[in-house]
Structure 1
């Protein structure tokens, strides 16, 4: 059985990412994939903070920005009230379940909207579905039972008089953690011209999008983006090194910045 260790990254995260505690352990297995390291770290961040409504709005906007080539550039977002949630035609947030969800409504620049398939899944395929004027929501599960839907995009049923809407579902802990990690990794990318020369911003965002989606590893060879000749010493690679040899790795300057 792979050995497990308590990672020194936990105290580092508290010092730099707005966490208010370090309850529990950030435990990484020696054979964890980078996807697993990213998921565990995001979940740990999300569990150890006193996050506000503004934090959830910011996190959902950050994650949405990874998909703006399809779903459009978000220009503003706001939290829906309980009455507003009740009027949204999505079964997941109706009835007693509504109390378990934060719902963020996004306003998107219609000129930046791409295309989705008829089911609303994140695929770069042509489609007859016009989403340019479609309401766009992020559903955040405060009970953290939405991992199997994490980061997936859906269209509501077109049956009935209600307008069709587009939405994504995610756990509260992962939403916060992924949002914070993305923001800091983008800073790392922006401050590394050598990486920018060999890895485009579009490809980097595609990589992050796959890392923050439950089905991410299924979308092609996402590990290709970690080729050392492409990504150099970016924080993601360093996180992977720490996951594999936690006791022996000293935290590098690039990782400290997160």
Structure 2
């Protein structure tokens, strides 16, 4: 079964809107695990507009499943990850002013930099993953960095799913086959939802984990958080 990691950035966004501690991020993360999620993901950004760096430190003592920290590996982020030592770090090349992640790494252009960062994290015993577009060449470049896994950036799949799902998923199938050939683990995330997750999971060979935040929290407003977590798990079986 593909594992479900829930990104709780949106919970932090809601909390920060009023300046207090409602909803309580730590309690929500614990509840999400209790409801059956296999992991918790956070993506702190330099301006701390949703997840704060202190949240990352506090969650380390709360999360009992898999803890995944995503982000652009600038010096502050690297120091944070090395201090916390989560189960997994996912490297994402997002600009500081990006609303959300909008591209994967060019693993050929940034290969030397990624090699250095990944070596540092792996020496600390942290599993590494690189956010990449569904391009076999980028997968090959990822392999050469020494990463343990890739995370397929799935926005184009989600956008194309409604009109032609077979065409939308084809690049991801090809990228996944290349990753399997190179013995790279496969994660995926971005704009996956209850509408499109099952087809994706059924067609991506070797899919280990999906990280879902925005859609899952939005769907939970109508359907309830515990219910939605388990709906995703059922679709990923």
The structure with the larger Rg is 1
TM class by smaller structure: under 0.3
Q: TM-score, normalised by structure 1?
A: 0.26
TM-score, scaled relative to structure 2? 0.27
